[in-house]
Amino acid sequence: MSRDDPEMTNPFEPERLICDLTQSWSEVGGGVGTYLRHKRSHILGKTQHRHLLIVPGPEDAVKEEGRAITATVRSPRVPGSPNYRLMIRNGAVRELLERFRPDLIECQDSYNLPWAAIAHRKRFPETALVGGYFTDFPTVYVERPFSKVMGDTLAGAAGRLCYRYCGHLYRRFDAVFALSENGGATKLRSYGVENVGIVPLGAELGDFGPSRRDDRLRRSLGVGEQQPLLIYVGRLDLEKKPQIVVDAFRKLPEALGARLVLLGEGPLREDIAGLNNPRIVTPGFVRDRQQLARWLASADIYVSGMADETFGVSIVEAQASGLPVVGVEAGAMVDRVTDEIGRLGPVDDSDAMAANILSIWNSDRGRMSAIAQAEARQYSWDSSMAALFGRLYRHAFKASVERQLQSRELARHAYLGVPAE
């Protein structure tokens, strides 16, 4: 059976080498890292395929463990984000791709690495390429930060230029997926990327639930039954906007007796701790899932100022824990939070966020909790992998075969001097 056989469009037959290529890799958490770990577990546990993971690291190394191959490319750390590295050595990446010759390459970045994969496919056209839109970078890293120094008009123009680049890039892939409609799919379609699939991330829902509530933990924080405990989980950096959550919290009436917990690491943790506010707690990054579930279930409201979520795993985990969510009306938050299970307000508006926190606290939170848990149950890693392997990859392999047949037909017409139809 050749790679051009139509049966090869079935991602489950025969054995494939699936490659994930990303620089959005961290040893401690992170949405892409969580996705890739679950994907590897799925490949090794539920398929006959092999998995090649190419990520940045402190040195060039290849580790082969049965069907799992992990290749690191020596890369410098990202300034201000010590858990991430900048993988810019495309030559080293292409050497790895040529060495292992994967059947399918999935890229989770929009920068230089997809071009290494595209260059590899030009040499080995049988390779299927998949693009995952995990970060809405034109808005996160261009338009929003530029607007603070260049004004909205120039920042908007820069953002649109980057979105046009995304259209130019992702139209080259055999299949493209976003994590949610408002977290990227709608925007990509508007820039000419057709047939954008939706592959939502999952959550380990069995780990989370209201039953994990720990009254001793609440008492250790000085929180009474009639006092709200707010919680945020994620990186403490400018992109995630925890400072908006802190500002909103400080605007709540002191008589409310609220407490705020921010779980995570990042450059803003020291600044927040430096406020010396005994009602704000920053325990750091919680690696243990049971401890995370305990923290979430012991809280009353989940709060986030992140404007550009492409999916929002922490939101789903909070909802699975029975928490209503207060967030902002942007990105995947729009897909995850309705008035039945939370409140959304304007981006960067701590006054509106404080008002929404009070609104939720004074609402029927029991009803919200039940609806939130039901909403979260649709997001499991099994369903995510079914969408990825059962639909998206199947489409990618089929498109790859069709692309090769079309290329050969064009070459044949050119050789014969016959115009292609």
Q: Give 268-323 pLDDT, tens digit per residue.
A: 999 999 999 999 999 999 988 899 999 999 999 999 999 888 888 899 999 999 99
d(CA 100, CA 55): 15
Using DSSP's 3-state secondary structure scheme, residue 281 falls into strand
Query: Backbone phi, then psi, for 240, in 5-degree steps?
Result: -80, -15
10 Å Cβ neighbour count for 265?
Answer: 17
Predicted model pTM: 0.82
User: Where exactly does CATH 3.40.50.2000 map onto the chain?
Assistant: 6-202+380-416, 205-376
> Homologous superfamily of 205-376 in CATH?
Glycogen Phosphorylase B; (3.40.50.2000)
Identify the CATH assignment for 6-202+380-416 out of 1.10.8.60, 3.40.50.300, 3.40.50.720, 3.40.50.2000.
3.40.50.2000
**In sequence order, what are the residues at sequence separation of 6 or more whose Cβ sits closer than 8 angstroms to the Cβ of residue 290?**
207, 212
Contact indicator for 339, 364 with CB cutoff of 8 Å: no
d(CA 110, CA 138): 10
What pLDDT was estimated at residue 39?
Answer: 96
313-345 pLDDT per residue, tens: 899 999 999 999 999 999 899 999 999 999 999
For residue 266, give the DSSP letter: S
Using DSSP's 3-state secondary structure scheme, residue 385 falls into helix
Which two structure tokens, joined as six digits, stand for 83?
């858990």
Q: Before 125, cis peptide (omega within 30)?
A: no
Contact indicator for 143, 159 with CB cutoff of 8 Å: yes
62-73 pLDDT per residue, tens: 999 999 999 999
Q: Which of 198, 190, 183, 142 is nearest to 164 (CA)?
A: 190
Q: CA dihedral defined by 98, 101, 104, 109, rounded to 10 degrees?
A: -30
175-210 pLDDT per residue, tens: 999 999 998 999 999 999 998 999 999 877 788 999
